[in-house]
Amino acid sequence: MRLTPEQDAEIASVRAETRPTLRATVPALEEILYQPLPVLDHGFVRVIDYMGDDAAVVQAARVSYGKGTRKISEDRGLIHYLLRHRHTTPFEMCEIKYHVKLPIFVARQWIRHRTANVNEYSARYSILDREFYLPAPEQLAAQSASNRQGRGDLLEGKEAARVLDLLGEDAMRSYGHYEEMLNERADGTVIEEGRAGLARELARMNLTLGFYTQWYWKTDLHNLLHFLALRADPHAQYEIRVYAEAMIETVRRWVPLVHEAFAEHVLGGVKLSATAWAAVRRMLAGEPVTEQTSGLGKREWRELMAALGRG
Amino acid sequence: MRLTPEQDAEIASVRAETRPTLRATVPALEEILYQPLPVLDHGFVRVIDYMGDDAAVVQAARVSYGKGTRKISEDRGLIHYLLRHRHTTPFEMCEIKYHVKLPIFVARQWIRHRTANVNEYSARYSILDREFYLPAPEQLAAQSASNRQGRGDLLEGKEAARVLDLLGEDAMRSYGHYEEMLNERADGTVIEEGRAGLARELARMNLTLGFYTQWYWKTDLHNLLHFLALRADPHAQYEIRVYAEAMIETVRRWVPLVHEAFAEHVLGGVKLSATAWAAVRRMLAGEPVTEQTSGLGKREWRELMAALGRG
Amino acid sequence: MRLTPEQDAEIASVRAETRPTLRATVPALEEILYQPLPVLDHGFVRVIDYMGDDAAVVQAARVSYGKGTRKISEDRGLIHYLLRHRHTTPFEMCEIKYHVKLPIFVARQWIRHRTANVNEYSARYSILDREFYLPAPEQLAAQSASNRQGRGDLLEGKEAARVLDLLGEDAMRSYGHYEEMLNERADGTVIEEGRAGLARELARMNLTLGFYTQWYWKTDLHNLLHFLALRADPHAQYEIRVYAEAMIETVRRWVPLVHEAFAEHVLGGVKLSATAWAAVRRMLAGEPVTEQTSGLGKREWRELMAALGRG
Amino acid sequence: MRLTPEQDAEIASVRAETRPTLRATVPALEEILYQPLPVLDHGFVRVIDYMGDDAAVVQAARVSYGKGTRKISEDRGLIHYLLRHRHTTPFEMCEIKYHVKLPIFVARQWIRHRTANVNEYSARYSILDREFYLPAPEQLAAQSASNRQGRGDLLEGKEAARVLDLLGEDAMRSYGHYEEMLNERADGTVIEEGRAGLARELARMNLTLGFYTQWYWKTDLHNLLHFLALRADPHAQYEIRVYAEAMIETVRRWVPLVHEAFAEHVLGGVKLSATAWAAVRRMLAGEPVTEQTSGLGKREWRELMAALGRG
């Protein structure tokens, strides 16, 4: 269960009433404000608040007044220019706040991005819910033989079933013992009257890293794009990539011109070393270039071939 | 002139039209949104955008859903508790963006606060206006004899007049030569046709530190309060303190409960060292305590006496 | 086992050889450089590198040249003054790097301090060791009745034994299944030839939050003191407090004057709200002040009484 | 005068004595430790302290123990891989501290890089020296006609002479009046006995942006490389670029493998948008591509041609 009935009711309630503001608003983002976008089996991302829009980036770049009055076509060109030339500060003038529900092992990767504000659900104060991540069968991959941090072929049949059994049983058992040690359930009911429960800050250590936590996460648009570039990358772990992908969709609604420039210059762009670029220029001059004559290491050569569609 | 007629018109224009939003709004802050609050002789602070309100702090602390439904009295208690116990992250969930016009020497102090986003008017691209700070007579103080970074008695009569003459004449002359080197005026008119002007990025170095610059400055509420605590302090230089004071007024409008807690625990609070607190406890036990028997250094003893109203 | 024999040998090897440097050195810290200070049942903190000393703080405050030549007594006074008056930037001129081994649930609290550099052992690449935290009997406390995030009375007898059994058994079982899913042990041996193991980045989610991880953690002295003030506080969870206490000892060796000022102004200091300070001044004036007449809330009054030793 | 005789003597004194340390040392950097590298007419950069070396980057990436024992060839490959794939945290494990003397308008650009620690000479406390930047004739360029923030042709003859006269005279006059208002000289001598001088924090505003200030600036290797990539770029203003170039030389001495990777992947690398890369691939496939058929804007097409050496 992603949201409790109480939470659903509360979201409906805040979405029922609009208020007037003099600030910039983004109707396409307001359409989904507060609403959870489902991610993984129990997780979600939802936009809680935002500040600024495409025009705010332009306005900061021009340190102009009011809302900016140029034509859209000029704004688009300026935003592309800013992103291409790493003029990052205008993008810092927009801010967004998310509410995210995510497995703890995903939260541990995510938190390494430090230029954000975070308020996480505290298992010192409160009892975590009985919700943990169980991979879908099409995500149950073996360790990659070639890439020390990647996934290889899918596990199948008996082996896949065994993994899902172990993950599920261990999570259920550890949660059951968590409740037993607490002598309390997440809904506040006491299990055995008169017995003292273990302190929450200690009992939580019996939960596995697959359990869901949740937090408020707030950052500016520049740092958000940096986070998304790294976490929507094919090398990122699947379980965080799906969050990044859901968030890119919110960026598209929020700041469509920035989203377009981001797709063009970052997500779809390429970075080449001096030697790789020299190899490309030699190819363009008609010279046959091989891994041996390129001056590149094996791995970087493979990356170049992939970028050239010759992978 | 604080704002040009065009800027005044633009502010009037953006203030003329409200839009509906599902986000939290703060009517008391909307009342002054975009409007310049005058500071010093030509400067101002104006709120350009904001995210969140008192309830957003509470909501983050509770990682609850929607807008928070507790009673105001409970929210007040929680906010006081959070501030007193340095639970700073909930205050990071609110964000505010200012447009500030300020003398360059003030900007150089301000920028030392690094946890903020800044877009400053660029004198590499554009020509600065002929506007510089000239202290009011009641600010024209001599160097303090006792405090190496403070002000002492007022300068008066001939000496005060001489200082104002020098500051004004040097600023005017340096600006005149700035224009001459650029061969261009701030309004874009060329002074002498056919002559190449010096690059803007070089010519600007002829301006004095009293000239006004402007920037967009955006930060979260926690870091804003930290900035205000330091810069509204009596030890801060007058010329930055008046900006802090104007901004505290915007905080009072924006998040009144947080403002109340800030006044109570930070602005009006005291911090005592172990030895100073021991001295207070000895006094409470009826023991006469002197500078000599207090164990405190001369300066800290003086600070303690001042805090006790015996200064 | 805190360290493997290979690690012990490597530490002995790097400690066997000194090199000449023109930089400031701190012999009292060099004495324990690289050596693990034990924390909890399997954890440790060890200093890996450092930059600067007490004199570097003084030097930055004076932006003077070379190593600073004033007398120790003047340096002490300046350092106390800087800390008391929140002149924090000179303390940022010293840097320290630690290697820490700690339970994952402690790491999750620790990482919330964002102004530090971190490199954590990656369970995407590598296999975690079979090491988890099991509280000592004198730490096995019940949930506090009065403090939602604190500990109350000790669990005893059968209940304590049951908790330790559950924590130990669940950790062992989850680790056993972790190895089974990986089809590999931490030492690299394959369990069952010919069977594909689950990707490491997935298998890790079966481990509980009590398992040990490790990281390099590097920060400047100002942010270190801020971290230590919060985490050595009696309200901090015991399992992180013991790390903070071990680190305070390294600060004492490294920058003894700063450590003294930190103990005096931060660890041993008090902060009082405007109302609490007014209550103290009324008491000093001979007025009887009660909770009711103090104007303080119940909790803050209790805190004031505790600070006055009347708790 | 870059350094006073007292400063020269102090540098000689700290360089005369080595101390033993167990930390990693870098002899090539120790060779120039404390010594000023001249920049512009009166400025300098000098390394005051450092932490870590190439091996510390590798060690952090491996979270291994001690000093790292792999072969240099493997370390080189790993460092190139880390930099190419934006694994930035291992580079944060090295730290460096500089003492920099620089014109105020350069300091204002520099300080926009926020992830560093700074202690600047305070003109609230102290009197600035009579030292200001005067561009060399070969730097006296006109405003660029095509680039709003760049330089164009050199000014020559009478015009160049006039600019230098104005810059020099205005700086000298503003300094003279600064002293007169202070009623004190930088060496502490009083000008006119019995007259109260203006507070330093006010008098400083009469100085121009060309005057020199100085600061301690400390950052980690990752953020240093980011700063250098932006500030050694041809689009950066000459007066900050020369500082970046001097600092790149210190990086080369300090961490030669990182320097090599930085030159290969960042300084010498290229970044292309999706459309630009598609154009390159079309060219490689033998298709003639023009600005019109490329899908690129005028400016980006020009940048691509320049990168291809067809500019």
The per-residue pLDDT for range A160-195, each reduced to its tens digit, is: 999 999 999 999 999 999 999 999 998 889 999 989
Judge whether D10 is closer than 8 Å to chain C, CB to CB: yes
- Partner-chain contact B95 A218, CB within 8 Å: yes
Q: Which residue's entry shows tokens 């203003």?
A: D237
Q: A47: distance to nearest CA of chain D, Å? A: 28
C30 with D22: Cβ contact below 8 A: yes
- CA angle D85/D90/D91 to nearest 5° reads 90
Please state which of the four CATH numbers 3.90.105.10, 3.30.1360.170, 3.40.50.1970, 3.30.1490.190 is assigned to the domain occupying C5-133+210-267.
3.30.1360.170
Active-site hit among C231, C241, C252, C310: C231
Chain D residues with beta carbon closer than 8 angstroms to that of B155: 196, 198
Residue A266, number of CB atoms within 10 A of its CB: 19
To the nearest whole number, what is the mean pLDDT of chain D? 93
Looking at residue C143, its pLDDT comes to 85
D106 part of contact set with chain B, CB < 8 Å? no
Residue of B nearest to C308 (CA): B281
Active-site residue (options: B46, B200, B204, B231): B231
Better-scored residue on pLDDT, A51 or B65: A51
Percent of chain D with pLDDT over 70: 95
pLDDT value of residue B145? 74
Q: Do C155 and A196 touch (CB under 8 A)?
A: yes
CB contact under 8 A, B274 and C264: yes
Mean pLDDT taken over chain A: 93
Interface-testing mutation among B265, B267, B298, B304, with chain C (most C C-beta atoms within 10 A)? B265
State how far the Cα of D251 lies from the Cα of D243, in Å rounded to an integer.
13
Residues of chain A neighbouring D270 (CB-CB closer than 8 A): 271-272, 277
Q: For chain C, say whether D116 makes contact (Cβ under 8 Å).
A: no
**Which of C11, C33, C117 lies at the smallest CB-CB distance from D65?**
C11
Contact A145/C at CB under 8 A: no
Q: A136 to chain B, minimum CA–CA distance in Å?
A: 28
Assess whether pLDDT exceeds 60 at residue D53.
yes
Residue C206: closest CA among C100, C102, C101, C104: C104
Residue A83 has pLDDT above 50, yes or no: yes
Angle between helices A298-307 and D72-84 (to 10 degrees): 20
Place of tokens 């005279």: D169
What confidence score (pLDDT) does residue C7 get? Answer: 85
* Tokens representing residue B19 in the block: 């839009």
Question: Which residues on chain D are in Cβ contact (under 8 Å) with A230?
Answer: 86
Check pLDDT > 50 for residue B133.
yes
Does residue D200 surpass a pLDDT of 70?
Answer: yes
Q: Is the pLDDT of residue A286 over 90?
A: yes
Neighbours of A308 (CB within 10 A): 17
Residues 6+ apart with CB under 8 A from A149: A235, C122, C124, C125, C200, C201
Shortest CB distance from D11 goes to which of C49, C63, C65?
C65
Whether the CB of A108 is below 8 Å from some CB of chain C: the reply is: yes
Binary contact (B275, C283; C-beta < 8 A): no
D265 at interface of A, judged by CB pairs closer than 8 A: yes
Residue owning tokens 């809904």 = A187
Say how far residue C25 (Cα) sits from the centre of its chain: 24
Q: Is B249 helix (H, G, I), strand (E, B) or coil?
A: helix
**Is the CB of A283 inside 8 Å of chain C's CB atoms?**
no
What amino acid positions of D are annotated as catalytic residues?
A: 231
Chain C residues with beta carbon closer than 8 angstroms to that of A144: 199
Q: How far apart are CA B252 and CA B260, in angstroms?
A: 8
Residue A64 has pLDDT above 90, yes or no: no
Q: What is the pLDDT of residue A66?
A: 39
In terms of Cα–Cα distance, which of A171, A263, A262, A252 is closest to A209? Answer: A171
Q: Mutate which of C33, C67, C95, C99 to test chain D, going by most D C-beta atoms within 10 A?
A: C95
DSSP C281-300: HHHHTT----HHHH---HHH
- Inter-chain contact B10–A121, Cβ cutoff 8 Å? no
Is B269 near chain C, with CB under 8 Å? yes
A:B CB pairs within 8 Å? 147
Q: Does A143 touch chain C (CB under 8 A)?
A: yes
Exposure of A178 in the CB half-sphere (CA atoms within 13 A): 29
Q: Determine the pLDDT at residue D133.
A: 98
Q: What is the pLDDT averaged over residues A240-267?
A: 98
Helix (H) or strand (E) holding C272: strand C270-272
Rounded Cα gap, residues C261 and A249, in angstroms: 51
Q: Are C228 and C244 in contact (CB under 8 A)?
A: yes
CATH class of D1-133+210-269: alpha beta
Q: What is the CATH number of domain B1-130+211-269?
A: 3.30.1360.170
Partners of residue A273 in chain D, C-beta under 8 Å:
84, 264-265, 268-269
Neighbours of chain B (3+ CB pairs under 8 A): A, C, D
Is the CB of residue A260 less than 8 Å away from at least one CB of chain B? no
Q: How far apart are the first and last CA of chain B?
A: 42
- D209 and B210 within 8 Å at the Cβ level: the answer is no
Q: For B178-199, what is the mean pLDDT? A: 92
* Predicted confidence (pLDDT) per residue in A90-112, tens digit: 999 999 999 999 999 999 999 99
Minimum-distance CB partner of D208 among B148, B150, B174 = B174
- Per-residue confidence (pLDDT) for residue C150, from 0 to 100: 77
CA proximity to C128, closest of C206, C224, C230, C192 = C206
pLDDT confidence of B66, banded at 50, 70, 90?
Answer: very low
Q: Which amino acid, B214? A: Q
Indicate the pTM of the whole model: 0.96
**ipTM at complex level:** 0.94
List, in sequence order, the alpha helices (H) in chain A.
5-15, 27-30, 54-62, 72-84, 104-110, 157-182, 200-203, 221-231, 238-254, 256-262, 274-284, 291-294, 298-307
Nearest CB neighbour to A273, from listed D269, D281, D283: D269
> Would you state the pLDDT for residue B269?
96
Which residues of chain A lie closer than 8 angstroms to D112, CB-CB?
Answer: 89
> Is D205's CB within 8 Å of B209's CB?
yes
| DSSP code for A145 | S
Q: Please report residues of D whose CB lies closer than 8 A to that of B196.
A: 142-143, 152-153, 155, 159
Out of B155, B201, B210, the one facing D205 most closely (by C-beta) is B210
Instruction: Report pLDDT for A70.
Output: 53
- Rounded CA gap, C115 and C102, in Å? 19
Range from A46-55, C223-232, D142-151 carrying the lowest mean pLDDT:
D142-151
pLDDT at A145: 74
> How big is chain D by its Cα radius of gyration, in Å?
24
> Contact D181/B174, CB-based, under 8 Å?
no
Residue among D7, D22, D97 whose CB faces C15 most closely: D22
In angstroms, how far is CA A57 from the centroid of its own chain?
22
Structure tokens at C303: 């805190």
Q: pLDDT-based confidence at C124, cuts 50/70/90?
A: confident
Mean per-residue pLDDT, B187-206 = 92
Does residue C194 belong to the interface with chain B, where contact is any CB pair within 8 Å?
Answer: no
pLDDT tens digits, residue range B230-256? 999 998 999 999 999 999 999 999 999
B140, B173, B204 ranked by CB distance to D209: nearest: B204
Interface of A with B in 18-57 (CB under 8 A): 18-25, 30, 33-34, 49-52, 56
- Stated as kind and residue range, the H or E segment containing D48 is strand D43-51
Report, in this order, helix, strand and coil percent for chain B, each rounded to 5.
50, 15, 35
Q: Which residues of A are catalytic?
A: 231
The answer to whether B44 and B37 have CB atoms below 8 angstroms apart is yes
Q: Which of B27-41, C191-205, D149-163 has the lowest mean pLDDT?
A: D149-163
**Is the CB of A200 less than 8 angstroms away from the CB of C149?**
yes
C271: nearest CB among B269, B283, B300: B269
Identify whether the C-beta of residue A163 lies closer than 8 Å to the C-beta of residue C198: yes
Q: Do B205 and D205 touch (CB under 8 A)?
A: no
Provide the token pair at D279. Answer: 């154009």
What DSSP element (H or E) covers D219?
Answer: strand D212-220
User: What does the angle CA A196 – CA A200 – CA A202 come to, to the nearest 5 degrees?
Assistant: 100
Q: Where are the domains of chain A?
A: 5-133+210-267, 135-208, 274-307
Q: Three-state SS for A49?
A: strand
Query: pLDDT band at residue B148, thresholds of 50, 70 and 90?
Result: low
On whether any CB of chain D is under 8 Å from the CB of C15, the answer is: yes
